């Protein structure tokens, strides 16, 4: 006959109390209710996206703050990733369309097997010359600083950021243009 393990009543009560306390807190309540927090102004569910400031392959600075008020699709990818490369034509099409969201991509030179920035830029010029990537904005996240902030584990990974700067969703793997567009219909 098997014996069931019984939890002491005190342990159950303590666990219930901890769960209740962790679910009841809010940033505004913790601040004494004074003033609005960034989370209180958020329209979408999620956490504030890390506010990156990166340079594109031509040396122009692009920051997430400069895109405030716009929904943003971010695709993290790598030049050595066959799934990423197979989706470049589709991504190029999406980036060239008039959508209600911005499309940017990020590559991390010298991180997780990606080539150095100078080598990547030279390689990427070849894609642009073939018109495979003429509409794609590529930002360089040297050494993967922002990839780590976003919790990127593999390539490709899609990030869906609302117009309020909230990271609504992070999805590993390839996303079709239809799936991306449908996802942004649910995001403010």
Domain locations along the chain = 9-35, 43-185
Q: What percent of the chain lies above the pLDDT cut of 70?
A: 78
Nearest by Cα to 74 from 182, 3, 167:
167
> What is the CATH number that goes with domain 43-185?
3.40.30.10
Place of tokens 């066959």: 82
**What is the pLDDT, as a whole number, of residue 41?**
63
DSSP for 4-38 reads PP---HHHHHHHHHHHHHHHH--HHHHTTT-S--H
pLDDT per residue over 136-163, tens digit each? Answer: 999 999 999 999 999 999 999 999 999 9
pLDDT per residue over 11-44, tens digit each? Answer: 444 444 333 333 333 333 333 333 333 444 678 9
Residue 8: band (very low, low, confident or very high) from pLDDT cuts 50, 70, 90: low
């Amino acid at each position: 006959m098997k014996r069931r393990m019984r939890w002491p009543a005190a342990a159950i009560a303590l666990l219930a109390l901890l769960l209740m306390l962790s679910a009841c807190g809010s940033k505004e309540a913790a601040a004494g209710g004074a003033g609005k927090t960034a989370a209180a102004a958020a329209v979408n569910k999620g956490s504030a996206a890390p506010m990156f400031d990166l340079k594109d392959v031509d040396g122009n600075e692009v920051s997430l703050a400069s895109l405030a008020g716009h929904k943003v699709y971010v695709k993290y990818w790598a030049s050595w990733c066959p799934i990423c490369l197979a989706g470049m034509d589709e991504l190029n099409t999406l980036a060239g369309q008039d959508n209600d969201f911005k499309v940017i991509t990020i590559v991390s030179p010298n991180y997780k097997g990606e080539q150095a920035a100078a080598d990547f830029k030279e390689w990427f010029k070849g894609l642009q010359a073939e018109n495979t990537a003429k509409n794609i904005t590529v930002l360089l996240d040297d050494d993967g600083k922002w990839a780590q902030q976003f919790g990127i584990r593999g390539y490709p990974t899609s990030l869906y950021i609302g117009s309020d700067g909230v990271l609504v969703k992070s999805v590993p793997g390839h996303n079709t243009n239809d799936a991306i567009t449908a996802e942004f219909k649910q995001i403010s």
